[in-house]
Structure 1
Amino acid sequence: MARKPNPQAMRERAAKTAAVMATPGGAVAAPKKTGFIEGLRNLPKFAMEVRAEARKITWTSRKETWITSVMVAIMVVMAAFFFFVVNWLLNTGITWILKIATAG
């Protein structure tokens, strides 16, 4: 079921878009280049942000991994059987056509 649109959030997004479009060329100004020393000063902040993002990672459980692996194996077997049958039918049909063509 779709969420109802939030008019306040829509207005805020429209205001942000208008602010970006009002800049020359419709683009945000490029960030100022920083030197090596500035980069080192930002390193702790960067490390904290990376750590915060890493905490958001969710791993599948052992059971989910096992079920998914079994499903993949079943699909591989089914696809192999399908292509075996199709190959056999095409081979038989072409062989039959060639026998008719060379005998006649």
Structure 2
Amino acid sequence: MARKKSDLAAMKSRAARSAVVAGGPAAAAPAKPAAPKKPFNPARFFREVQAEGRKISWTTRRETWITSVFVLIMVLVASMFFFGVDLVLSWAINQLLKLATAG
């Protein structure tokens, strides 16, 4: 299978990044000075929270109802399954104990 040129470029890029992490020749480059840290601004923080809140896509009432019913059905199915497994295991253990006590 022949490799595409884009795959080759991607491999070279990953190799270069790995060399930097491993301490290759590119790692000797001086690091950028850190930007001065800005003080906390509560008003800006809440504006940004509101902006992020507007980006949320909420589910519709119908989607929420369907999902809730599906979860309820799955809980009932799982509970019936585990109830059955519990009955079978308790019966098996009782049979083993009856054999162990000879009667």
- TM-score range for the pair, normalised by the shorter chain length: 0.5 to 0.7
Offset at residue 53 of structure 1 (A): 1.7
RMSD over aligned Cα, in angstroms? 3.1
> Gaps spanning 5+ residues in structure 2: where?
1-5, 21-26
Offset at residue 51 of structure 1 (A): 2.8
State the partner residue of 1:33: 37
Offset at residue 55 of structure 1 (A): 1.3
CA, structure 1 residues 87+34, in 2 after alignment: closer, same or farther (shift >3 Å)? same
- Separation in 2, partners of 1:66, 1:81: 23
Aligned pairs, number: 82
User: Which amino acid in the other structure matches residue 72 of structure 2?
Assistant: A
State the partner residue of 1:52: 51
Offset at residue 54 of structure 1 (A): 1.8
State the partner residue of 2:69: 70
- Separation in 2, partners of 1:97, 1:44: 70
Q: By percentage of residues, which structure has more helix?
A: 1
CA, structure 1 residues 102+44, in 2 after alignment: closer, same or farther (shift >3 Å)? closer
User: Which amino acid in the other structure matches residue 59 of structure 1?
Assistant: W
> In structure 2, the residue corresponding to 1:103 is in which secondary structure?
coil
Cα offsets for 1:9-41 (capped at 9, x unmatched): x9xxx7xx89xx7552xxx65442345xxx55x
1:94 has 2:98 as partner: no
Offset at residue 50 of structure 1 (A): 2.9
- Separation in 1, partners of 2:101, 2:43: 80
Offset at residue 46 of structure 1 (A): 4.2
With the length of structure 1 as denominator, give the TM-score of the two structures.
0.60
User: Which amino acid in the other structure matches residue 32 of structure 1?
Assistant: P
> In structure 1, the residue corresponding to 2:101 is in which secondary structure?
helix
State the partner residue of 1:84: 83
